[in-house]
Amino acid sequence: MTYPAPVEIPTRDLFNLGGRTVLISGGAGAVGMTVGKAVLESGGDAVFVDMVPSPNEQMWKTIEQISAAQGTKAWYHQLNVTDADSVAPVFDTIRGEIRHPLRGLVACAGISGECDACDYPIDVFRKILDVNITGTFTVTQAVAKEMHRANVTGSIILIASMSGWVTNRGINTAAYNASKSAIHQLGRSLAAEFAHPQNTFPGRTPGDANPNPDGERKAYPPIRVNTLSPGHIETPIAEAAKSRGLVDEWVKQNMLGRISQKEEYRAPVLFLLADGSSYMTGADLRVDGGHCAW
């Protein structure tokens, strides 16, 4: 199923998200809330999901004020992306309340942990991979199913990191780095699978994951999947790094001489979600102040 290029869209509408709903996992966090605001300000409705029962009261009040001013809608749902059994009921609720189909995902949910490799507790290592990889896949799978159900095109953004390209100098975060590199490959793999039927050979080989392969796959409208790789970000989590002098070192490791602000990821996210990036899939958009180019 090949869809035509959206060449008739006026330039002013290339970043417009009107008529679509975007889900943000890790939506109670600093980056998730910030990009969610940008979605609402660009005409889209936003569903925020995160582990906490409710978001920060003041932050959510701002979300409500923005959505009221823009004529958009916002919802919040508690969701642990690593709990596969809880995903379907939450999405059943979401499906019943949204007014436009889910056509976007920004997968922000992720954790890190610093530890020397020889001392790394295996349960902590596994938890980081479970949240960052399995959790990202779980929510992506659920959103893709909703897009298929609604028979609509969509755009999925998996938040990776420059740490998926290079290791972090001076701080030992092997589990996090490995998970973000895996996000890059997950994004490429899903981009191929969701783009066009020509990308998958006919038939399926039986196995543990697919014991009873069925017949021909149904063709769906294309879903674009890209990754976004931020550099170091000024968030509350970075406060501990500041006190250790790490931030002073990080600013020397990129070309712009500073770490990024969460607001600087609004435009990259809107670009990847909207029709302005209609011919972009399977790619990584690195926004790192030149860190990896040096």
Q: Is the pLDDT of residue 1 over 90?
A: no
Tell me: the pLDDT tens digits for 226-280? Answer: 999 999 999 877 777 888 889 999 999 999 999 999 999 999 999 999 999 999 9
pLDDT tens per residue across span 94-114: 999 999 999 999 999 999 999
DSSP state of 168: P
> What is the pLDDT of the chain when averaged over all its residues?
95
**Residue (of 29, 19, 23) closest to 51 by Cα position:** 29
Domain ranges of the chain: 17-199+219-293
Distances (CA, A) of 283 to 113, 203, 229, 290: 27, 27, 10, 18
Local confidence band at 69 (pLDDT 50, 70, 90 cut-offs):
very high
Question: pLDDT (tens digit, 9 = 90+) per residue, 21-47?
Answer: 999 999 999 999 999 999 999 999 999
Q: What is the DSSP string of 194-255?
A: HH-GGGS-SS---BTTBSS--SSPPP---EEEEEEEE--EESTTHHHHHHTTHHHHHTTSST
Q: Which residues are catalytic?
A: 176, 180
Q: How far apart are CA 45 and CA 60, in angstroms?
A: 14
pLDDT in tens, 175-214: 999 999 999 999 999 999 999 988 988 888 889 988 877 7
Instruction: Please check the confidence at residue 125 and state whether its pLDDT lies above 90.
Output: yes
> Beta-carbon neighbour count of residue 18 at 10 Å?
13
Residue 64 has pLDDT above 70, yes or no: yes
Q: What is the pLDDT of residue 204?
A: 84
Residue with tokens 């969460």: 262
CATH number for 17-199+219-293: choose from 3.40.50.720, 3.10.520.10, 3.30.43.10, 3.50.50.60.
Answer: 3.40.50.720
pLDDT score at 17: 98
Report the pLDDT value the prediction gives residue 209, as an integer from 0 to 100: 87
Q: Does the structure show a pLDDT above 90 at 2?
A: no
